[in-house]
Each structure stands twice: as structure tokens, then as C-alpha cells.
Amino acid sequence: MEADSIPYLHSRSLLTAEDAAAILDNCERSELAFAPWHTTGNRPYASFSIAYSNDAIYLKYYVTEDALRAQYSKFNDPVFEDSCVEFFIAFNDDAQYYNLEFNCMGTSRVQYGAHKTGRIFIPAALLKNIKHQTLIKSKVPGNVQWELTLCIPKQVFMYHPALSFAHSRARVNFYKCGDGLPVPHFLCWNNIKADVPEFHLSQFFRDVTFGKQLINNDKN
């Protein structure tokens, strides 16, 4: 994200995951460069590109890691145990935030609250509206490469019914993890200072804006 500003994508309707993937491939990528708890084994690589429209957030992850795991297939399963990417976001000055977690096959786990405990699950009826595309480019052990594109309609942010991205600010962080992998790992976009792996520390979210710069979209 250039200058921590999420670029605007003009679209009259929610894009398909395939169209979003192609557009995001041409956007700037940001690396999950921090691994504050890395001690052993190969360190995975992950980056993402992101954009928004009036109706949705579009997000694509690019991942290279040693192993691939996709055990969970039901909404709000503990996908963080699989090969997983995550996106946490708090709007404006809210203490509460959404955690959106996805395994490599696009299975979603989404919650809302102010702390790690006592969080509220977003209903599956809303999560069904998240479109995704998975592309596994390599399954070679030690060099597993996969991409996940997500089209997240603003209705998923159900505790903000009047949400307008263009008139909002946000605090965010992006993650890659795999708690149940042979060698667990934890990457983050904005660095976290804690003794043990913990993503639910909103004081380490980073301020971003929903920018006015336009991404060309010939399809809409």
C-alpha cells in the first residue's frame, strides 16, 4: 500500500474472485516482513495486495511455505491451525475490531470484539457472501506456493451497517500463520512486540486510509 493508503477500485457491482485476482496482480504488493517469534526452520514468505470499492474490500495473498495444510472446511472453524492468512481491521476510533481469518482453501473464520476473549462470531449466512479464489502453484515440499484472492462485501462488517469505506479511516494488520503445521510460524505486516505469538494486540495495528487514487478496471 503506497503511503498506507488503500487504493480505490471503481466497480458498479461486486467483482468475481477471478476478475479481482487479475486486477490485484497489477497492484502494489506489501510484504509481511516481520516474524517476531521466529526461532527455527525456514521462514515462510507472504505478501498481499489490497483495494476497495464502494461495496467491498478486495485482498490477495501470495504465499510460499514449507508445507500445506487445509483441514477445516466449515465456516468459523479454527482455520488458524491450517495454512492461514489473516486480516484484522478496526474502523475509525472503534476499540472493537474484526478478525478475518482464511485457510488456503478460502474457509473463513470471522469475529468481532475488543479483545481476544469474548469475541462474537459473524454468522455463516454473511460469510457465504465472501468470494474467493485459490491457486496452488506448487506443492513441492519446502517450496509450496499458493495464492488466495478474497472479495469481502461490506455487509460482512455487520456492526457497521452504515459503513462507507471512502469516508472512514481504519487501523489494520495482516498476518500469515500455521499453528498446526509441522513447524508453526507467525508473520505480520506491522511488527508486534510480545513475548509469545499473539495477533490480538490492537495497539500494534497500523493506521490506513481509504484513498482516492483510482485503479483502472476495464470490466466495469
For 150-194, what is each residue's pLDDT tens digit?
Answer: 999 999 999 999 999 999 999 999 999 999 999 999 999 999 999
Q: Is 198 left (phi over 0), alpha (psi -120 to 50) or beta?
A: beta
CB neighbourhood size of 119 (10 A): 17
For 79-115, what is each residue's pLDDT tens digit?
Answer: 999 999 999 999 999 999 999 999 999 999 999 999 9
Contact 37, 176 (CB under 8 A): no
Backbone phi and psi for residue 208, each to the nearest 5 degrees, phi listed first:
-135, 160
Domains in the chain with CATH codes = 2-215 (2.60.40.1190)
CA dist., res. 26 & res. 43, Å (int): 26
Which pLDDT does position 187 carry in this prediction? 98
Strand pairing of 30-31 and 120-121?
Answer: unpaired
For 183-208, what is each residue's pLDDT tens digit?
Answer: 999 999 999 999 999 999 999 999 99
For 113-134, what is each residue's pLDDT tens digit?
Answer: 999 999 999 999 999 999 999 9
Beta strands in 53-103 (DSSP E): 56-65, 84-91, 97-103
Lookup result for grid cell 485503479: 215
Which pLDDT does position 218 carry in this prediction? 54
Task: Tell me the mean pLDDT in the region 134-151.
Answer: 96
For 18-75, what is each residue's pLDDT tens digit?
Answer: 999 999 999 999 999 999 999 888 999 999 999 999 999 999 999 999 999 999 999 9
CA dist., res. 179 & res. 211, Å (int): 34
Which pLDDT does position 20 carry in this prediction? 97
Which pLDDT does position 17 carry in this prediction? 97
| 3-state percent breakdown (helix, strand, coil) of the chain, nearest 5 | 10, 40, 45
More confident position, 97 or 216: 97
Contact 159, 178 (CB under 8 A): no
